Amino acid sequence: MASVLKIGNIITLAIALQINDAGKPAEFKFKLTAKRMTTQEWNEHFAPGQNNQKTVREFLMERITGWEGQTLVIDDQTNQPAPFTAENFDLMLGVLGVQDVIFQAYLREVMKAAAPEAKAKN
């Protein structure tokens, strides 16, 4: 008999950005979908001495699979939110600071494993 985890391989990240736009704050709130990371994948990528050459950008490009409600990247011709593509996500990551916010959100979500009593105290 085979066993599987009850949780899925996909996580959702709630992203909230505030970016300076010509001296005025521009706010962007949206959701990203991403592939969950296993302990083995974490150790292969982040364990000391692994000499992994991947950048945070490359890591995110491999893990993030979609977005919902984003308005930061728009279609130049229609002025409407652009669909998720690797090129459009890479464009978003080109805004200084954005990849750090997304990476931190990913880590928070993938590490959400706490005993119920720990949640009750917060």
* Res 71: pLDDT: 96
Given the structure tokens 């991403």, which residue do they identify? Answer: 34
Average pLDDT, the chain: 88
Contact 101, 56 (CB under 8 A): no
Q: How far apart are alpha carbons 19 and 95 in whole angstroms?
A: 9
Q: How far apart are alpha carbons 56 and 62 in whole angstroms?
A: 10
> What tens digit of pLDDT does each residue of 40-61 get?
887 777 777 666 667 889 989 9
Phi/psi at 64 (5° precision): -80, 130
